[in-house]
Chain A
């Protein structure tokens, strides 16, 4: 995509924006005429959003969700990379832990929520635990795949340099696997975001998910749209931040293969 001339690209973005605006216009026109409760016109949603988003309550709720996400993500990702490195570099570890992790990975995360509640009670700890659990697996899978995908020449070179297993894993396998690990980190971020919301759908405490869920009972459709849109925006921004970090850390990789497509 980035190989196109700047003018063509600009025209492309313009076209996309036009289509988007056209879609919004159609929605607006139809919503006004149909006067459906569940499909408020875009303008009303926009107004509501501009009202709600900057409000202190809303921002506090968002802050709470983001904090939980950060904590759960940090725990899950660290665990995922560490265990992933161990599993990736040793066939024995991989086959021993393999079946158990494969099975746990296949559990639907929604199932984890009630289990977490019964273990930890409905609160912050439960939510962070759920997020960590959900973030752990994509990071684990990506790390294992990254390490297993290290070219044999690099493995052999590291072996011939007579490095110990641990040193080899950290100094060679980890950097070599980083591009793949980052892909997993990005996936895990999306999953983490989803989990924050699901965990908060239980309704207690505060958070963006709680906000969205509560609107259902208040029948405040516009507010619900506003909340969901903000969630999308939040996801976009967080993803963007992660991409910035990735480009920094993996400058060597992008030099070799060109810019990433996210």
Chain B
């Protein structure tokens, strides 16, 4: 975990979380930085506190110790500056709104005119490949498309960090590959050096395929076991990248760390 030379958008220091005073801590002494424009993957087995960590970083859950700094300011409550994409897309989109209104929902308080909001929504929708589907309702879309809407909604307010909590775990393998590539293209596209993304997953291959850096968490009490720089060249490719030797070495390395940490 070398200090990055780019600006660190997110700083997590000594983070710990305890749910009850006599039980084991869920998280302990978690420390890492996320640089501006970095795509960080966090991997670990179930129960290692990945989701807890994510929720604390978003401000949805208070920490028991340690700090989280977003752009230098401490995070203690949800601030509207980050976005979160959930695993269960069917329960995170507002079923009473159509796609366009779901996507513009976060913009309601930003003081934008209606035309501007519509324009941003359209831009977000085309970025995820759903231009023209604005009038549909979530239940009319397939799982993969619903998740795309969720991603569009996350992007539309131009958050400082986009967090994803096992976002592709509930879709089939083919759709998963599509969505992974979508995420990569979103990461590459954005202005000012790329979108900062923190991607939590249990899938080691996915983590290595997507990320600039992979963080491995141990099972409870969760702490950072190791972090690995993924030096694979971009743009990445499902066939070429995944069959490269470097990829295989990396994913084996990550895999071994996790299996070790399990013991």
Contact = CB atoms under 8 A, between A and B. Distances in A.
B91 A154 contact: yes
Interface of A: 151-154, 156-157, 159-163, 172, 175-176, 178, 252-253, 255-256
A160 B137 contact: no
Contact of B137 (A156, A159, A172, A255): A255
A176 B96 contact: yes
Given A153-B86, A252-B137, A255-B139, A160 B58 contact: yes
A256 B138 CA distance: 8
Interface string B84-112: 10101001101111000000011001000
Contacts of B84: 156-157, 160
Nearest to A155: B60
B74 interface: no
B86 A256 contact: no
Contacts of A255: 137, 139-140
Given A175-B96, A252-B96, A160 B82 contact: yes
Q: Which of A154, A160, A178 has the most CB of B within 10 A?
A: A160
A159 B78 contact: yes
B103 to A, nearest CB: 12
Interface residues of B, number: 27
A151 B86 CA distance: 12
Contacts of B91: 151-154
Interface of B: 55, 58-60, 78-84, 86, 88, 91-92, 94-97, 105-106, 109, 137-140, 157
A256 B141 CA distance: 10
16 contacts: A153-B86, A154-B91, A154-B92, A154-B94, A156-B86, A157-B84, A160-B58, A160-B82, A161-B106, A161-B157, A162-B80, A162-B109, A163-B109, A176-B94, A176-B96, A253-B96
A157 B95 contact: no
Given A172-B94, A175-B96, A253-B96, A160 B60 contact: yes
Contacts of B139: 252, 255-256
B83 to A, nearest CB: 7
B21 to A, nearest CB: 20
Contacts of B96: 175-176, 178, 252-253
Given A161-B80, A252-B97, A253-B95, 20 more contacts: A151-B92, A153-B86, A154-B92, A154-B94, A156-B86, A159-B78, A160-B59, A160-B60, A160-B82, A162-B109, A163-B109, A172-B94, A175-B96, A176-B95, A178-B96, A252-B96, A255-B137, A255-B140, A256-B137, A256-B139
Contacts of B86: 153, 156-157
B79 A162 contact: yes
B75 to A, nearest CB: 12
Contacts of B58: 156, 160
A256 B137 CA distance: 9
Nearest to A178: B96
A70 to B, nearest CB: 27
Nearest to B98: A252
A92 to B, nearest CB: 17
Contacts of B79: 162
A153 B80 contact: no
Contacts of A256: 95, 137-139
A157 B92 contact: yes
Contacts of A161: 78, 80, 105-106, 157
Contacts of A252: 95-97, 137, 139
A177 B59 CA distance: 25
A153 B137 contact: no
Nearest to A174: B96
A172 B102 CA distance: 11
A37 B64 CA distance: 78
A151 to B, nearest CB: 4
A98 to B, nearest CB: 24
A160 B83 contact: yes
Contacts of B94: 154, 172, 175-176
A154 B58 CA distance: 15
A26 B183 CA distance: 71
A256 B81 CA distance: 31
A162 B78 contact: yes
